[in-house]
Amino acid sequence: MKKMKRIVAIICVACLAFSIVGCTRLQVTREIAKVNGRVITEAEFKYYLENVKTQMLAEAGVQDETGFWDAEIDGVKASEAAKNKALEEVLRVEMACIKAEEKGLTIPADQAKQIKNSINFPDKEQADAYNELKKETGLSDELMIELMSKATLAGIYANDLLTNSPEALEPSAEEVKAIYEKDYVRVKHVLIGNTDEEADTSELSEEEATKKAEEYKEKQLKKAEDVLAKAKAGRNFDTLVKDYGEDPGMAEAANGYTFTKGEMVPEFEEASFNLAVDEVSELVESSYGWHIIKKYELLSEGEEYDKVIESVKSPLMEKKYNELLDSYKESMTIEIRNDVFNGVKVK
């Protein structure tokens, strides 16, 4: 179901990157935890850890890991935060599998076949990467399939919950409305680009090319200032977008852009959230050029509104799902091998 895409994606994280994760020399048989007597190996934990590390680096926009894992995030060392999150995820998947089995849920035969076939890569580059992964980690095909099967069964359990017990995951209309009104904004903008993408500088010297680029930028800045003056004077903003805007996305966004924090370039985001409804910004410069932004009332109906509301619901449902899984800890026996857990290094 559409609403569950993010939840299923979270608990199927192990399915998503088997051909690309670069784990290093995992110990396959040493156990790191048990859930109701079911063993979670260090290899399984480290697999989730590698995925968590990738997520954290992407969220932080970090390319170079140097020093990142020694830094603190909300008062916790980044390396410890990664390990704690990975442990949470692998425990949740195990608990979801136990609950799924208690309900008699199984992986359909066609899906089970697909999982087994997923490690047979037709592409030589992917096959070589997979074989290198096995060589480096000692993980067998059987364990790879087991990890993917667990994540798949956990996803089946999540979908079963939504189908048969939607109240356990569905956020209230009040919760959704509060977050939508607090954390989202709708704007339109006129973009005046600062780079001539079609300029041919192949026959120019570096100095000539630089001069030409600077002249173009000066001309565009003057244009942006002229358009801003028109906007401030009350000219129809849709007309300005149509006549002067250089963002092709605006041509397809009749209602403008509705977004939350972290989805746009920082300069654009900050200016948008600081505006009052119907207010026009000053020139906002980003790597794309100059933006003239106007803020609008949030949508309250329509297809686009429905899509945004679904995106608002998604993290709320994920939170409720994780809280539900965590509540199972009270009725399950969970053992953590702290000596093994503490010995795992993040680098």
Question: Which pLDDT tens digit goes with each residue over 239-265?
Answer: 999 999 999 999 999 999 999 998 999
pLDDT at 96 over 60: yes
Per-residue pLDDT, averaged over 110-122, amounts to 91
β-pair type (334-336, 31-35):
antiparallel
What pLDDT does 137 receive?
A: 56
Both tokens of 305, joined, read: 């509104």
What pLDDT does 342 receive?
A: 94
Angle made by CA atoms 111, 17, 260, in degrees to the nearest 5: 105
pLDDT at 7 over 60: no
Please state the length of the chain: 347
Per-residue pLDDT, averaged over 17-44, amounts to 69
Per-residue pLDDT, averaged over 5-21, amounts to 41
Q: pLDDT digits over 143-180, tens only?
A: 889 989 999 999 999 999 999 999 899 999 999 999 99
CA distance 207 to 213: 10
Per-residue pLDDT, averaged over 51-70, amounts to 87
3-class secondary-structure state, position 7: helix
Average pLDDT taken over every residue of the chain: 88
Which segments of the chain does DSSP mark as H helices, in order?
Answer: 5-11, 42-60, 78-102, 109-117, 124-137, 141-164, 173-183, 206-232, 237-244, 248-251, 266-274, 303-327, 338-343
Q: Which residues pair with 257 in a beta bridge?
A: 187
CA distance 261 to 339: 39
pLDDT band of 27, cuts 50, 70, 90: very low
CA distance 242 to 229: 16
Pick the CATH number of 176-296 from 3.50.50.60, 3.40.50.720, 3.10.50.40, 3.40.50.2300: 3.10.50.40
pLDDT band of 311, cuts 50, 70, 90: very high
Among residues 15, 13, 11, 47, the alpha carbon closest in space to that of 28 is found at 47
Query: What is the strand order of the sheet 289-296 is part of?
Result: 257-260, 184-193, 289-296, 284-286
Q: Where are the beta strands (DSSP E) in 163-308?
A: 184-193, 257-260, 284-286, 289-296
> Which DSSP helix (H) or strand (E) runs through 38?
strand 38-41
Which residue has tokens 């890569």? Answer: 121
* Exposure of 258 in the CB half-sphere (CA atoms within 13 A): 23
Both tokens of 276, joined, read: 């009052």
pLDDT at 183 over 60: yes
Stretch(es) of the chain classified as CATH 1.10.4030: 2-170+307-343
What pLDDT does 11 receive?
A: 44
pLDDT band of 300, cuts 50, 70, 90: very high
CATH architecture of 2-170+307-343: Orthogonal Bundle (1.10)
Does this model's pTM top 0.85?
no
3-class secondary-structure state, position 29: coil
Do the beta carbons of residue 64 and residue 126 sit within 8 Å?
Answer: no
pLDDT at 213 over 80: yes
